[in-house]
Structure 1
C-alpha cells in the first residue's frame, strides 16, 4: 500500500470530527453534507440567500480547505485514467439516489449519527461500508476496469 498515510488520515479525521462537534454545539445542526448541499441548492433556487448562509459557508470551507491543502502541500491529485465516463455518471447518480433513500450520507450517518449513538445511523453506515467493499471487489476482480 504505497498510499497509506496514517498521520494525514488521523489529522483529517480529527478535523472532520471537530468541525462536526463545533457545528452541533454552536447551532444544534448536524454536519450531514448531502443535507447541507441539498438545502443550499434548494434555498438558492428559491432566492433565499440568507437562509443558505451558514450552509454555503460550510461547503465553501470544505472546497477551499481542500484547495489550500493541495496548494501548500505540493501533492497532486492523480485521477484514474481511461475510466468510462458513463460509469462515473452512473456512480454519481447512484450515490445521490442512495443518500436520498438512506435519509443522509456517510458524514451525516457515519460521523454525526454514530457519535450520537443512533441505531439507524449504525445500520446505514454498515450498509455504506458493505456496499463500498462489494463495489471495490467487483471493480477490481470482476470488471477489471
Structure 2
C-alpha cells in the first residue's frame, strides 16, 4: 500500500528488479570509491539538494516519458561523453565532477530507497505502465 502524502513524487508503479539491482551495484561498487576521494563536501551537498528537488518535482517523470527510450539513451550517453570530455580537457575539474556526481548518486539512491519503502514490493524485471494497486 502506498503512502498517499507522497503520491505525486513517485511513479505510479512499484520498482522493478532491474532498478533494484542497478542501485545495489552503484551503492556497493561505485559510491564507496567516490566518497573516498571527495574534495569538497559543500559541492556534494549542493548537488544532493538540487537532485533531490529535481527528483521530487512532478515534471521529471513526465519528461522522461515524453523523451522516450531513445531520448533517455541519448541523455545518458551525452552526459557520459560530456563528463569524459571535461575530464580529459580539464583534468583540474575532475574533483569537481566527482563531488557533483557523488551528490547526484546519493540523492538518487535516497529517492529509490524511499520509493521502495513506499511500495514495499518489487515487480518484474522491467517497469510497466500499469498503476500499482
TM-score, normalised on structure 2? 0.34
Whose relative contact order is higher, 1 or 2, with alpha carbons under 8 Å and at least 6 apart? 2
TM-score, normalised on structure 1? 0.32
